[in-house]
Structure 1
Amino acid sequence: MQRILVIEDENNGYSELVEILSGHNFQVENVHSINQAVDDFPIASFDLIITDLRVSGQAGTDIIPLAHEIPVLVMASFASLRSAVEAMKLGAVDYIAKPYDETDLLSSVEDILNKHSHRSTTQERRQSKNASDMIYGRCQPMRKVFGLIDKVAPTDASVLIQGETGSGKELAAKAIHELSRRSNQEIVCINCAAIPESLIESELFGHEKGAFTGAVSARAGLIEAADGGTLFLDEIGELPLDAQARLLRVLQEGEIRRVGSISSRKVDVRLIAATHRNLKALSRTGQFREDLYYRLNVVQIRLPPLRERGRDITGLAHLLLNNSLDRMSRPEVELSSDALRAIQEYNWPGNVRELENAIERGVILCENDLITADLLDIEPTAAEISLNQGLVRSSANPQQMSSHHLSNINRPLSMEDYFQQFVLENQSRMNETELARHLGISRKSLWEKRQKLGIPRRKGDEAKN
């Protein structure tokens, strides 16, 4: 039975409100002052508090901060409705006007109790879950990730997730959303690298009719679609600089302006961004706004690459195998000992996504109840062996590497990030031939990677070479 506390001025010992509520199977307690309510009952034991606007010379709204999560309904005469509206601004969930209609009163009470019950259930469910229930991981690096997710999820802080391609950045973002107070709203996921540069501002911020050729009607952007919920921007390092400036305004002012509009709109979004690139290094070269980087980097979560997760690799393989079997309705299939050994020894440059594809390939090609190593098709290529050997050679010559690089060598970087960091930090004292030799690649490959990643050669390098 739901409990309701009624706080109202004395009426010769009779309360019509108490009688109505008691007659509809509510357990009702009646007091005549806030002090009496606090002294006689634990406030948290009630499901709803109904109070007069003024009780015994005191503002009835004084109970609101004492009620915490318990909803407070205010009663007011028609002459005091303005004050009742002010009470809602202080935290009351609703007000009813005296004299009240019994049907309207009961309808309001039941609506409030139903909403509060749903909110309490959602909150309890959210509090009973944690990140490790949604993402597989037993190793120490993943336990650290889970701890960060559990801490940051209940807040509205911006989060920057860094990790190699396929390491589970979107899964981590969805876990943060699911554990947040916004979990009953949408999470809108956007891959910035998948949207053409000419369309990205229109897609993110929306546009007005006639803003450009083809804009035959006004359209809300994806940021507006995430209003009240969470916006996940994957591969944010690919966002053009103009769009970065607009996004910075969203974070600073909580508002957007559609393309072609002269007015701004308020939005309430929680931003989670992800990238496989080193945004700090990009900000130093002018490819990413430094002010946006610091706005995003309130809490940073680094996802370890699969090769650094130890026994998690085989555990994930079994989990993904069971998922594939369920999805394909296949009979029981096992991984052979040589397949498990190959899975454990492989470098997994594509991380969990590559492992999932390999397992699915094995399930499809398997003709009996055993998946062998050759069905996984995960032999390293000659190029990968050459690059890995080059990295080993450069690591074996610490006198040729900067102390700053050595202090960061254990950080989980992608191959592209490692390449960019190594070149930027060593090109002032190495020529192109030496850089290529230490990286284990040809000068032509070095030039091609420079072009791809937009790493300029220092002035004077041409003369040296």
Structure 2
Amino acid sequence: MEKRGSILIVDDDEDILVAGKLLLKPHFASVKTIEDPNRLPELLSKNTYDAILLDMNFGPGQSSGEEGFHWLSEIMKIDPQAVVIMITAHGGVNIAVEAMKMGATDFVSKPWQNEKVVATLSAAVKLRRTRNEAANLKRVNQTLVEERGGQEIIGSSDALKNIQSMIDRAAPTDANVIILGENGTGKELVARELHRKSKRSGEIFLSVDMGAISESLFDSELFGHKKGSFTDAKSDRVGRFQAASGGTLFLDEIGNLPLHMQTKLLTVLEQRQVTPVGANAPVDIDVRIIAATNLTAKELNDESRFRQDLLFRLNTVEINVPPLRERPGDIEEIANHYIEVYCRKYDKPHKKLSVDALSAIKEYNWPGNVRALRHAIERAIILSQGNEFSAGDFSLESHPDSAGEVANKLSIKTSSGTEEIELPDGNLNLERMEHVLIERSLKKHRYNISHAAKELGLTRAALYRRMEKYGF
């Protein structure tokens, strides 16, 4: 078995140092000993230890523990994540308790029991590893938050001003929020802004696509599982609720959950506990829930589609994000923002929108909303050749329901009978047909990706790739 963990023993008794090193060396990767605690600052500035075994008293006749308190304090200043185990004389429990209040993790008494010392330090090494992982996760989360800082909510329309006002009022509370809006309107940006302005902003923001979780893995993904609880459970796994504990959990596409899975979610929100698959006891959680769906308020209030008691739990605050076609005044500002972003990304000279280009993108319906506009801008920056963007650089198609666009029909046999599919008049290009079919399916299902993908016979990921290809 591989030995893991580095141990530092600090004691002025040479016999303790020798005995400790002999005892611990077979169990840990490295064991360092020092007699003089004054060496600690320099040593800790150059090295990191998984656990530090620190004596409470140095020098003959010392028993107050003051030196131990001093050096414990110095260690925690240098390394706040340090795991320190105090060495106390027999009967020094009260002193050890005070040390633990100052940040020590545990204590061992002289004369010590070898098995207890090994077990205590093994637990300390695991604790240090957990603290490191938590610190790394926090740093990664902060980096992601900073990277997404460029993806702010853009626009100055009255609708967006109202949304910003609601965010400012709701964010500092721990109230659950549900965000309504079509796909591509920026619901996740609203959720991230709520997190950024909340009291949990320093903790994790975890996003879960509820539409992408299969029913068979629902419990394991959200609530976790214990090793051996089912065939592929080869180790313990923390679920999304536990992983987000202390922070914000964003449940995207909540409207895609079947009713029986909604019941499980409701139970968790009511009890504020999850029970991992295979576990005997529930685990407390502390998360703020932000949910999002492309269902309309009317559809959400349909009891055959969504549990009303779950909706009551989720929509303490309800924020509606309007589609881009309802706020055309924001289009120019959004377009200029992404022109700057992608010109910088692809190292292209900055271009402006010509009058006809600006008119074209303002008049376009943008069925894919801001996401589609962003993709159109990115594609135009890569492919355009002029000194400024023209309307043609955005390849904006007229809407398939426009007069005269659809004339031909194709009859095909399906498992349920014969269906007629309308084709673009005079244009049987395969990519053009794929573009039309995808757009129609998305419109038919109100841009519900899961439902559109199922009708088209595609996976969600495959549909997203095609949407990006065609600028939806």
Give the corresponding residue for 1:163. 181
AA partner of residue 234 (structure 2) = V
Corresponding position: 1:104 with 2:69: yes
**Equivalent residue of 2:328, what SS?**
coil
The alpha carbon displacement at 1:241 in A equals 2.6
Looking at structure 2, the residues matched to 101 and 385 of structure 1 have their Cα atoms a distance apart, in angstroms, of 88
Contact 1:307 1:347 in 2 (8 A): yes
Contact 1:279 1:288 in 2 (8 A): no
The alpha carbon displacement at 1:212 in A equals 2.6
Give the corresponding residue for 2:377. 359
Corresponding position: 1:278 with 2:296: yes
Alpha-carbon displacement from aligned partner over 1:204-256 (angstroms, at most 9, x marks no partner): 11122233332222211111110111000110011233332222122111100
Gap change, CA 1:166 and 1:384, over 3 Å in 2: farther
Looking at structure 1, the residues matched to 357 and 195 of structure 2 have their Cα atoms a distance apart, in angstroms, of 36
AA partner of residue 247 (structure 1) = L
Looking at structure 2, the residues matched to 416 and 277 of structure 1 have their Cα atoms a distance apart, in angstroms, of 13
AA partner of residue 169 (structure 1) = K
RMSD: 3.3
Corresponding position: 1:377 with 2:395: yes
Looking at structure 2, the residues matched to 222 and 309 of structure 1 have their Cα atoms a distance apart, in angstroms, of 35
Moved more, 165-174 or 278-287: 278-287
Corresponding position: 1:136 with 2:101: no
Looking at structure 2, the residues matched to 148 and 239 of structure 1 have their Cα atoms a distance apart, in angstroms, of 27
**Equivalent residue of 1:231, what SS?**
strand
Alpha-carbon displacement from aligned partner over 1:28-68 (angstroms, at most 9, x marks no partner): xxxxxxxxxxxxxxxxxxxxxxxxxxxxxxxxxxxxxxxxx
Give the corresponding residue for 2:47. none
Give the corresponding residue for 2:258. 240
Corresponding position: 1:322 with 2:287: no
The alpha carbon displacement at 1:280 in A equals 5.0
**Equivalent residue of 1:300, what SS?**
strand
The alpha carbon displacement at 1:282 in A equals 4.2
1:36-435 matches, cutoff 5 A: 101=66, 104=69, 134-278=152-296, 280-383=298-401
Identity between Structure 1 and Structure 2 (%): 42
Give the corresponding residue for 2:32. none
AA partner of residue 241 (structure 1) = L
Alpha-carbon displacement from aligned partner over 1:247-305 (angstroms, at most 9, x marks no partner): 21221111001123232100100000000113653452422211101100100010111
Looking at structure 1, the residues matched to 226 and 277 of structure 2 have their Cα atoms a distance apart, in angstroms, of 6
AA partner of residue 195 (structure 2) = H
Looking at structure 2, the residues matched to 219 and 360 of structure 1 have their Cα atoms a distance apart, in angstroms, of 39
Gap change, CA 1:257 and 1:416, over 3 Å in 2: farther
**Equivalent residue of 1:250, what SS?**
helix
AA partner of residue 304 (structure 1) = P
**Equivalent residue of 2:216, what SS?**
coil
AA partner of residue 69 (structure 2) = D
Moved more, 213-222 or 353-362: 213-222
Gap change, CA 1:279 and 1:256, over 3 Å in 2: farther
Gap change, CA 1:266 and 1:160, over 3 Å in 2: same
Looking at structure 1, the residues matched to 72 and 167 of structure 2 have their Cα atoms a distance apart, in angstroms, of 40
Contact 1:320 1:356 in 2 (8 A): yes
1:431-450 matches, cutoff 5 A: none
**Equivalent residue of 1:160, what SS?**
strand
Looking at structure 1, the residues matched to 68 and 151 of structure 2 have their Cα atoms a distance apart, in angstroms, of 45
AA partner of residue 260 (structure 1) = G
Looking at structure 2, the residues matched to 278 and 211 of structure 1 have their Cα atoms a distance apart, in angstroms, of 39
Looking at structure 1, the residues matched to 368 and 390 of structure 2 have their Cα atoms a distance apart, in angstroms, of 20
| Matched positions, count | 284
Looking at structure 1, the residues matched to 404 and 187 of structure 2 have their Cα atoms a distance apart, in angstroms, of 28
Q: Which runs of 4+ in 1 moved over 4 A?
A: 105-112, 384-387, 414-420
Gap change, CA 1:189 and 1:418, over 3 Å in 2: closer
The alpha carbon displacement at 1:193 in A equals 1.4
Looking at structure 1, the residues matched to 277 and 221 of structure 2 have their Cα atoms a distance apart, in angstroms, of 10
Contact 1:279 1:293 in 2 (8 A): no
Contact 2:182 2:446 in 1 (8 A): no
Contact 1:325 1:363 in 2 (8 A): yes
Gap change, CA 1:109 and 1:384, over 3 Å in 2: farther
Looking at structure 1, the residues matched to 354 and 218 of structure 2 have their Cα atoms a distance apart, in angstroms, of 47
The alpha carbon displacement at 1:111 in A equals 6.9
Report the TM-score when normalising by structure 2: 0.55
Contact 1:203 1:222 in 2 (8 A): yes
